[in-house]
């Protein structure tokens, strides 16, 4: 890399670029928002990019951040230059090793994209909570405030650590910096070599453990010496700040970019100063520039080296004139006398005062404030508010800024109209869908502007939390000067809305500046577009004199065979309208960027994109704006007026993108939220939805079973329920014997369907005279929406089937049970959610769910709306997410509590037997709750018990009232993905299996870390390309099921609903009924496998038919009957493994990159499939001693008793 050359990258890549080159060993583990640093390092290593010493760093993914920290600790001890990347909970898991690494004075740099810690809720966004949790470890903490600084401070950290021997935690704000794309000056290899002293590397290597010169570290010390030995490191901490300052000086000499331990900017004689660190400091800097230009005596002090805290340098950096010092922390320490930076500043000033070395005439007032938790916006208006506040005689102490706190009234108000952006800044906002490629094109736009002009460019991207139909908002700025604005665009000269339906959902012109240009993708002839706008939008356009442009990009894309990919069309229009570059030049650059971005997908992809770019401008129209509003139509309300109060007052506000305006009082104090809110968010994201033909339908219910979003449902009901049915409502007599005489309907939820096609693909019922017509076909949604909405409402109000009248529970009949998991934000065609939906259908009204962090916790619990809901009795799954690594233990805790509650309630019932009545007591304590009838009967008994208790006036009766519901059987499920079960949570999962407690574990195995972007796990199969295994995973999948089988007492099943639905249902029922630990490993197709999810079920069948994915159930109860506990539900492989592999790009990628390697993988996978079947077949035939029926009964009882005891 040439010195002084420019590159357009995000903060993660900026930091990783230095870290990679300065390291010999890198241990990684995915966590948002730091994963991209690990990903690029792995990618560079796989492409054989070398480090500063012309070697390719050894990159290893570990099973957790704790593992990564252990690995780097070892690598450091063995004398290598090592690094790692992490954030948030991952950083917490590294803390034990951080103490060790620091205690051993080990040169080391870790790079952290600082992120919120999970407390009342998880948040993937940025603040300093994680970093602040490490300030006691002995690491130096060095902060970068921007993308450029993430590059530069990485270099300073790698240089300073070698000389100081203090390990460095280099951090920058998660998302705001880690994911901001900006043009920066890059550091060449020679720059880095000049800064990172070879002598330091040698010295580090010399200290490395080697049997050629052995020493011992990690001793255990006693009270006599530990204390003194711990103090021995002090001189190194004392020396560290000067070393960092020297490294910064050397850096400045080499690059011209000057940094300090503390950097002051503003009026040299300022009386008001804000002290802070991170990206917010740049916003303060921008505001200070604006205010000082207007004569205000304000300034900012940016904290660069936070630990070791250099008091002298801090005091020296402040002007003697300072009167009020606002110390802003981007973290929260409830119960502390103040947040950490404030305490440090206070201590520094107090100590200096005590020592008489304070450089001020009068000690300044120190006013603490908190801002920006979880990437909360921090704008110049808020900075101004802080300066105004600290100018007051009695400023609010421990204030918050950026929120409205109407409970403890800590917040200070700000004036949103205050803006500081310079006139030469050109800002644009783009509203798009994830699937349409808007963000990708905007990243390319930034790169084009960055590389092809002298302008500075900045891009920041906001996503909603849905995995299907996700809305993206891109914020772009260009300027002749460096851009410090670390906040969203709020005054745009260009606004683009890439999806027409957004105009009814979002106020897309909210931030359009007067005279701005507005580009709308509208599926309409140009002369009709204006009349289709809602009234509010017409008003905005007229009032702000907005220039209005429209294009039917979907039509153009469709005709070019580009599906819904409209990004390059819209990008071309942007350049044409915004005029950043001459049109032809811009088109040339767009084409080049297309080739760069999509060249890897193939020349046809490039050709078609070029084709639409060439045609785009011919389809772009400027729409004449009339002088007055013609529309009478208002933007429709986001949620139905029938929605509950909370949904109206809170959820709807968040849905409208106005969640920032909700005050503290809108929220519960402990993170508790009502369930069943997804039903109020009608997303209408499907272009086509299924239409049912009752005449052809064979009533198999497969469509309902596979639906990932519970958006197509089956119901049987009495004819009488049809009274008042809408005219378009479809019904037909039910054909089965189990509900004779009833009626049957398959009904789509038109506004909740994602249009994934899974239902159509599994539908086995064809029209014999026209086989392309099936009982379920897809048809355009828009014309069907209104009628089907009415039908669906009617359908939902038809009484649910009486569970106690069900004569059988299987895959088909399960679909007559109400799903209590619906309309989640999971991907269209998700392979996980059908399992969860079935789980809630079978046991939802008595379900406790512990959900490991991952996809399922995001679509299961990410605001604004959540999918778990209740039945008409108000019962439904109680769901919670603790962490990623602890989910098995967390769920196990549920079981402990339930067992305690059951034990206590039994004791109380027995103690109160004489008052309750012996008959009821006997029935309550011996109830058979193995079926729905038994459970219903027990619920009735509990109701009777409550009646009795109301008349008993003793403390025991009151206590029993709080426990009575636990007399009804509950079902505990521990759910999560393979990253949890196979890797980070395996220790806990194994421990839970090693107990006899009655918990059920559902592993939705996508064979990668899906949520963080498809990194390999130990579940990734041999030969699959995944992130961190770009060349194909060289070892086979861990057989988690077989490991669990070996315990003997664990119920284990491997299932795949697409291959055998009956077995899936059977496994759920057996696992739940088994009075001990159960483990279900469920094949879950996933977008990370790289094919159209509409074929997910088909691919599952191929996985089973090829022997790649075995189906079996291992039921310890069978052993008691003298039968082999393992029962295979699949036969010998009947299709070649290749038929399965070739459909998925994760395998095809290897085939085309390295055919020989692919063939070797293929041969090994084929052999493994055959070997696996042979092994399982033998295990399934294992003879166990025959136990007489009576004896077996006794043993069964004993087993149950064992379970109760343990």
Partner 1 sequence: MDLSTTYLGMHLPHPLIAGAGPLGDELDTVRRLEDAGAAMLVLRSLYEEEITGEQMDTFLHVESYGESFAEASSFEPEPELALGPDEYLEHLRRVKHAVQIPIMASLNGVTLGGWLAYAKLLEQAGADGLELHVYHAASDITMSAAEVEQQFVEIVREVKRTVRIPIAVKLAPLQTAFAHFARQLDNAGADGLVLFTRFHRADIDVEELEIVRSLPLSDSSELPMRLRGAAIVSGRIKASIGITGGVHTGLDVIKATMAGAHGTQMVSALLRHGPDYLRAVRADIEAWMIEHDWGSLNEMRGNMSLGKIPDPAAYERANFRMALR
Smallest Cα–Cα separation from 457: which of 147, 1, 125, 178? Answer: 147
State how far the Cα of 502 lies from the Cα of 509, in Å rounded to an integer.
11
Minimum distance, C-beta of residue 1030 to partner 1, in the bound complex (Å): 4
Query: For partner 1, which stretch binds (CB under 8 A), given 405-413, 447-455, 602-610, 897-905?
Result: 602-610
- For partner 1, the binding residue among 1090, 1122, 1160, 1179 (CB under 8 A) is 1090
Number of residues that bind partner 1 (CB under 8 A): 71
Q: Are strands 58-61 and 25-28 parallel, antiparallel or unpaired?
A: parallel
Minimum distance, C-beta of residue 172 to partner 1, in the bound complex (Å): 17
Residue indicated by tokens 């230059």: 81
- For partner 1, the binding residue among 3, 43, 53, 742 (CB under 8 A) is 43
Minimum distance, C-beta of residue 1153 to partner 1, in the bound complex (Å): 4
Q: Reduced to 3 states, what is the DSSP secondary structure of residue 803?
A: helix
Active site residue 65: yes
Active site residue 1142: no
Minimum distance, C-beta of residue 663 to partner 1, in the bound complex (Å): 25
Q: What tokens does 977 get?
A: 């993905």
DSSP state for residue 766 in the 8-state scheme: B
CB 418 within 8 A of CB 381: yes
Minimum distance, C-beta of residue 455 to partner 1, in the bound complex (Å): 23
Binding mask 145-184 for partner 1 (x = CB under 8 A): ------------------------------x---x-----
Smallest Cα–Cα separation from 1040: which of 986, 1078, 992? Answer: 986
In order of 169, 690, 733, 746, 816, the CA distances from 698 in angstroms are 63, 16, 11, 11, 15
Interaction between residue 688 and partner 1 (CB under 8 A): no
Q: Which is nearer to partner 1, 605 or 725 (CB)?
A: 605
Interaction between residue 1138 and partner 1 (CB under 8 A): no
Point out the catalytic residue in the list 21, 115, 165, 311: 115
Which residues make beta-bridge pairs with 732? 744
Chain-centroid distance of CA 1087 in Å reads 15
Interaction between residue 773 and partner 1 (CB under 8 A): no
Interaction between residue 214 and partner 1 (CB under 8 A): no
Minimum distance, C-beta of residue 636 to partner 1, in the bound complex (Å): 25
Which residues in the 429-448 window bind partner 1 by CB under 8 A? Answer: 433-440, 443
3-class SS string, 148-196:
HHHHHHHHHHHHHHHHHCCCEEEEEECCCCCCCEEEEECCCHHHHHHHC
Which residues in the 855-874 window bind partner 1 by CB under 8 A? Answer: 858
Chain-centroid distance of CA 1099 in Å reads 26
H-state helical runs in 715-762: 758-762
Minimum distance, C-beta of residue 373 to partner 1, in the bound complex (Å): 17
Which residues in the 1144-1173 window bind partner 1 by CB under 8 A? Answer: 1145-1146, 1148-1149, 1151-1153, 1155
- For partner 1, the binding residue among 265, 445, 701, 1012 (CB under 8 A) is 1012
Interaction between residue 659 and partner 1 (CB under 8 A): no
- For partner 1, the binding residue among 368, 380, 976, 1014 (CB under 8 A) is 1014
State how far the Cα of 114 lies from the Cα of 970, in Å rounded to an integer.
40
Q: Which is nearer to partner 1, 328 or 1026 (CB)?
A: 1026
- For partner 1, the binding residue among 8, 17, 23, 32 (CB under 8 A) is 32
Interaction between residue 984 and partner 1 (CB under 8 A): no
Interaction between residue 384 and partner 1 (CB under 8 A): no
Please list, residue by residue across 523-536, b when 16 or more beta carbons sit within 10 angstroms of its beta carbon and e when fewer do.
eeebeebbebbbeb
State how far the Cα of 97 lies from the Cα of 109, in Å rounded to an integer.
13
Interaction between residue 467 and partner 1 (CB under 8 A): yes
Query: For partner 1, which stretch binds (CB under 8 A), given 476-484, 595-603, 841-849, 948-956?
Result: 595-603
State how far the Cα of 487 lies from the Cα of 418, in Å rounded to an integer.
14
- For partner 1, the binding residue among 302, 589, 679, 1027 (CB under 8 A) is 1027
Q: Which is nearer to partner 1, 437 or 1133 (CB)?
A: 437
Q: Strands across the sheet with 547-551, in order?
A: 6-10, 181-185, 456-463, 471-479, 426-433, 492-497, 512-521, 547-551, 621-623
- For partner 1, the binding residue among 279, 458, 938, 1010 (CB under 8 A) is 1010
Smallest Cα–Cα separation from 1124: which of 1178, 1081, 1193? Answer: 1178
Point out the catalytic residue in the list 13, 24, 39, 65: 65
Interaction between residue 558 and partner 1 (CB under 8 A): no
State how far the Cα of 278 lies from the Cα of 301, in Å rounded to an integer.
11
Which residues in the 732-771 window bind partner 1 by CB under 8 A? Answer: 766, 768, 771
- For partner 1, the binding residue among 416, 525, 563, 1048 (CB under 8 A) is 563
Smallest Cα–Cα separation from 290: which of 178, 383, 202? Answer: 383
- For partner 1, the binding residue among 623, 827, 916, 992 (CB under 8 A) is 827
Query: For partner 1, which stretch binds (CB under 8 A), given 147-155, 258-266, 560-568, 838-846?
Result: 560-568
Active site residue 1072: no
- Angle between the N-to-C axes of helices 198-207 and 147-164, in degrees from 0 to 180, rounded to the nearest 10: 60
Q: Which is nearer to partner 1, 15 or 1087 (CB)?
A: 1087
Which residues in the 1049-1088 window bind partner 1 by CB under 8 A? Answer: 1086-1088
State how far the Cα of 758 lies from the Cα of 706, in Å rounded to an integer.
7
Point out the catalytic residue in the list 86, 400, 1011, 1045: 1011
Minimum distance, C-beta of residue 1095 to partner 1, in the bound complex (Å): 10
DSSP 1099-1156: HHHHHHHTTSS--EEE-HHHHHTTS-SEEE-S-S--S-HHHHHTT-HHHHHHHHH-HH
Minimum distance, C-beta of residue 600 to partner 1, in the bound complex (Å): 5
Interaction between residue 980 and partner 1 (CB under 8 A): no
- For partner 1, the binding residue among 197, 203, 410, 470 (CB under 8 A) is 470
Q: Which is nearer to partner 1, 766 or 906 (CB)?
A: 766
Active site residue 1011: yes
Binding mask 87-126 for partner 1 (x = CB under 8 A): -------------------------------------x--
Report, in this order, helix, strand and coil percent for the chain, each rounded to 5. 45, 15, 40
In order of 287, 906, 920, 1125, the CA distances from 946 in angstroms are 64, 14, 11, 42
Question: Which amino acids are annotated catalytic?
Answer: 32, 65, 115, 1011
């Amino acid at each position: 890399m040439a010195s002084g050359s420019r590159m357009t990258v995000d903060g993660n890549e900026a930091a990783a670029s230095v870290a990679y080159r300065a390291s010999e060993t890198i241990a990684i583990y995915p966590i948002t928002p730091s994963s991209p640093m690990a990903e690029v390092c792995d990618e560079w290593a796989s492409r054989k990019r070398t480090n500063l010493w012309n070697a390719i760093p050894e990159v290893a993914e570990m099973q957790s951040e704790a593992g990564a920290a252990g690995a780097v600790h070892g690598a450091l001890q063995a004398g290598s230059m090592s690094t790692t990347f992490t954030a948030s909970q991952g950083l917490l898991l590294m803390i034990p090793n951080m103490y060790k690494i620091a205690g051993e004075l080990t040169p080391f740099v870790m790079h952290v994209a600082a992120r919120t810690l999970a407390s009342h809720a998880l948040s993937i966004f940025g603040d300093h909570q994680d970093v602040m949790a490490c300030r006691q470890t002995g690491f130096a903490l060095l902060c970068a405030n921007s993308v450029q600084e993430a590059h530069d401070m990485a270099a300073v950290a790698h240089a300073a650590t070698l000389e100081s021997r203090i390990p460095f935690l280099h951090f920058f704000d998660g998302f705001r910096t880690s994911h901001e794309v900006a043009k920066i000056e890059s550091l060449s290899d020679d720059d880095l070599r000049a800064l990172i002293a070879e002598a330091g590397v040698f010295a580090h290597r010399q200290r490395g453990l080697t049997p050629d010169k052995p020493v011992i570290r990690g001793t255990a010390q006693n009270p006599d010496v530990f204390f003194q030995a711990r103090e021995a490191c002090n001189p190194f901490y004392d020396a560290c700040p000067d070393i960092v300052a020297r490294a910064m000086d050397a850096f400045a000499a080499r690059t011209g970019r000057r940094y300090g331990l503390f950097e002051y900017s503003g009026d040299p004689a300022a009386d008001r100063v804000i002290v802070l660190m991170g990206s917010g400091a740049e916003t303060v800097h921008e505001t200070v520039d604006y205010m000082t230009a207007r004569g205000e005596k304000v300034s900012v002090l940016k904290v660069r080296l936070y630990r070791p805290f250099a008091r002298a340098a801090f005091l020296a950096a402040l002007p003697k004139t300072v009167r009020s010092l606002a110390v802003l922390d981007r973290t929260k320490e409830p119960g502390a006398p103040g947040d950490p930076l404030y305490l440090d500043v206070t201590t520094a000033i107090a100590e200096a005062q005590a020592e008489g070395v304070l450089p001020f005439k009068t000690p300044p007032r120190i006013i603490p404030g908190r801002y920006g938790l979880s990437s909360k916006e921090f704008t110049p208006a808020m900075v101004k508010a802080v300066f105004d506040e600290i100018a007051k005689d009695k400023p609010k102490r421990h204030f918050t800024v950026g929120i409205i706190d109407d409970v403890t009234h800590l917040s200070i108000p700000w004036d949103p109209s205050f803006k500081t952006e310079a006139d030469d800044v050109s800002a644009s906002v783009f509203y798009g869908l994830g699937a349409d490629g808007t963000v990708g094109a905007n990243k390319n736009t930034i790169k084009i502007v960055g590389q092809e002009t002298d302008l500075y460019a900045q891009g920041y991207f906001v996503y909603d939390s849905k995995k299907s139909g996700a809305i993206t908002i891109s914020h772009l700025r260009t300027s002749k000067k460096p851009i410090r604005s670390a906040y969203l665009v709020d005054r745009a000269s260009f606004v683009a809305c890439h999806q027409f339906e957004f105009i009814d959902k979002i106020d897309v012109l909210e931030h359009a500046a007067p005279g701005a240009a507005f580009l709308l993708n509208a599926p309409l002839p140009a002369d009709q577009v204006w009349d289709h706008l809602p009234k509010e939008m017409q008003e905005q356009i007229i009032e702000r004199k907005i220039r209005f442009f429209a294009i039917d990009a979907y039509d153009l894309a469709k005709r070019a065979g580009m599906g819904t990919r409209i990004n390059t069309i819209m990008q071309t229009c942007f350049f044409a309208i915004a005029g950043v570059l001459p049109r032809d030049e811009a088109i040339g650059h767009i084409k080049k960027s297309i080739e760069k971005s999509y060249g890897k997908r193939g020349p046809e992809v490039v050709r078609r994109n070029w084709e639409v770019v060439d045609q785009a401008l011919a389809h772009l129209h400027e729409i004449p704006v009339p002088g007055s509003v013609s529309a009478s139509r208002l933007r429709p309300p986001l949620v139905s007026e029938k929605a509950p109060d909370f949904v109206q007052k809170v959820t709807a506000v968040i849905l409208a993108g106005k969640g920032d305006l909700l005050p503290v009082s809108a929220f519960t104090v402990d993170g508790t939220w009502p369930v069943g809110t997804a039903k109020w968010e009608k997303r209408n994201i499907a272009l086509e939805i299924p239409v049912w033909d009752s005449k052809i339908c064979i009533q198999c219910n497969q469509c309902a079973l596979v639906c990932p979003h519970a958006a197509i449902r089956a119901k049987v009901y009495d004819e009488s329920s049809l009274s008042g049915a809408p005219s378009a409502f479809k019904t037909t007599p039910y054909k089965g014997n189990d509900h004779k005489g009833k009626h049957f309907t398959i009904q789509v939820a038109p506004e909740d369907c994602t249009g994934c096609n899974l239902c159509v693909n599994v539908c086995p019922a064809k029209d014999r005279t026209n086989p392309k017509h099936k009982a379920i076909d897809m048809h355009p949604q828009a014309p069907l929406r209104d009628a089907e909405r009415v039908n669906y409402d009617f359908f939902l109000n038809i009484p649910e089937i009486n569970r106690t009248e069900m004569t059988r529970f299987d895959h088909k009949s399960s679909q007559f049970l109400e799903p209590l998991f619906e309309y989640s934000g999971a991907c269209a065609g998700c392979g996980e959610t059908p399992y969860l939906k079935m789980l809630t259908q079978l046991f939802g009204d008595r379900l406790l769910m512990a959900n490991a962090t991952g996809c399922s916790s995001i679509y299961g619990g990410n605001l604004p709306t959540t999918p778990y809901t209740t039945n008409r009795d108000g019962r439904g799954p109680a769901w919670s997410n603790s962490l990623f690594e602890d989910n098995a233990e967390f769920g196990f805790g549920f079981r402990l509590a339930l067992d305690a509650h059951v034990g206590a309630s039994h004791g109380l019932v027995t103690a109160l037997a004489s008052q309750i009545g012996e008959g009821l007591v006997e029935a309550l304590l011996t109830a058979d709750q193995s079926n729905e009838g038994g459970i219903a009967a027990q619920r009735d008994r509990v109701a009777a018990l409550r009646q009795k208790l109301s008349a008993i006036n003793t403390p025991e009766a009151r206590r029993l009232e709080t426990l009575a519901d636990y007399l009804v059987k509950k079902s505990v499920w521990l759910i999560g993905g393979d990253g949890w079960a196979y890797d980070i949570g395996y220790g806990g999962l194994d421990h839970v299996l090693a107990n006899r407690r009655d918990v059920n574990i559902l592993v939705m195995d996508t064979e990668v870390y899906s949520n963080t972007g498809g990194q390999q796990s130990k579940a990734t199969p041999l030969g699959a390309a995944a992130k961190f295994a770009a060349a194909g995973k060289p070892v086979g999948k861990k057989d988690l099921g077989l490991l669990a089988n070996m315990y003997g007492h664990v119920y284990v099943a491997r299932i795949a609903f697409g291959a055998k639905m009956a077995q899936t249902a059977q496994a759920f029922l057996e696992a739940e009924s088994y009075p001990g630990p159960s483990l279900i490993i469920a094949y879950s197709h996933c977008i990370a496998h790289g094919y159209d999810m509409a074929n997910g079920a088909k691919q599952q069948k191929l996985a089973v038919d090829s022997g790649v994915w075995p189906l079996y159930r291992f039921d310890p109860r069978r052993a008691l009957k003298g039968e082999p506990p393992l029962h295979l539900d699949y036969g010998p492989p009947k299709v070649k493994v290749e038929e399965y592999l070739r459909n998925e790009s994760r395998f095809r990628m290897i085939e085309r990159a390295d055919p020989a390697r692919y063939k070797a993988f293929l041969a090994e996978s084929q052999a493994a499939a055959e070997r696996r079947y042979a092994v399982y077949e033998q295990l399934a035939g294992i003879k166990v001693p025959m136990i007489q029926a009576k004896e077996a009964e006794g043993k069964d009882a004993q087993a149950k008793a064992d379970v109760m005891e343990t």
